[in-house]
Chain A
């Protein structure tokens, strides 16, 4: 697994179609360079906590944002969020929930766990591209966050 030297956006997405649409939207904004994507929750946790396949990952600055799809194989997005937000090393990492539908239950739970944003992926491609573009620009360019 080749990890780019700097990862500004960690993208946790199991659906290759959604992944392609997301990357395309980011690329359009010129934000795709420092993106690293993992395809399930287990891989995400390995990356975040430098375990498993990512055991030797060089320590770099934390990502500026993590996009988390909720419905993931193996470990759910909620679980990834919980672990990330309950560990001192990763608690301050901004987490954006990107999911297919608005479920009151999911909204409540992710916000209680400390999610920083919750966005429903629009079906309309133009709207989808606009949403991802907005999110990328906001979190990668506009938002300020602590260094650790």
Chain B
């Protein structure tokens, strides 16, 4: 009796599907995307150790990397940027805190803004505010859907340089008004003007030109420049300080965009290299930082089995088809 074709093929089809599912599942589990350059999702795994704000922390070794292409900012005045073509992003979460590490190539370390023509290297991450009614415009959000921006600045990290380095012989016998109120920008609460602010600012915006200091300044960060690269880590608790800020939930994803400023190119304000909206996905799966962890070996073995199974299945399928 001749067996109907559809029944004869079924075990092979099922085997191929199983191999595909197995491979996909393992890839998802380890956060490796075979089409990484096409991916728009950065997966934040749980870290087994506290990554801290040191970009050289070993916790980052295993964290998947998303290469985000950057481009010229041409949507609003002042336009510019584009000199930094790509930024490498990684994300981890540890206990109740989220860590995002950015790294990009920059031939010059620009961290001094004493002269009027000096501009600082900087980087920023944008998220929708938890109160956003819809996905906000990537361009600073809109009235009903604000954005939360975390900015790190190289000059703020370097601290105030002595103006006398530039304005030599500007001899001063005494400053008559050392009270805080006389430091007008500081007294007005400008985070950039405050030497105690640290390298990062927590900002909120609801449209172009509305960027302002968030009520709660809770983003920490640190940047290191070495070998022609900046590496910067942002750290914040998963829950935002108020409704204008972003909140991150395990098992959920959120939109995210990057911006990088290259000071030596005159980048400042809107003159910056920007990404599109990407996804940041928080998963409750632990990612160990060890090079030879059992989980890593199991994942690798499963991947091998999956790929071999897929190859064999497809080969067998092709062979059978050619015989028909």
A, B: real partners: no
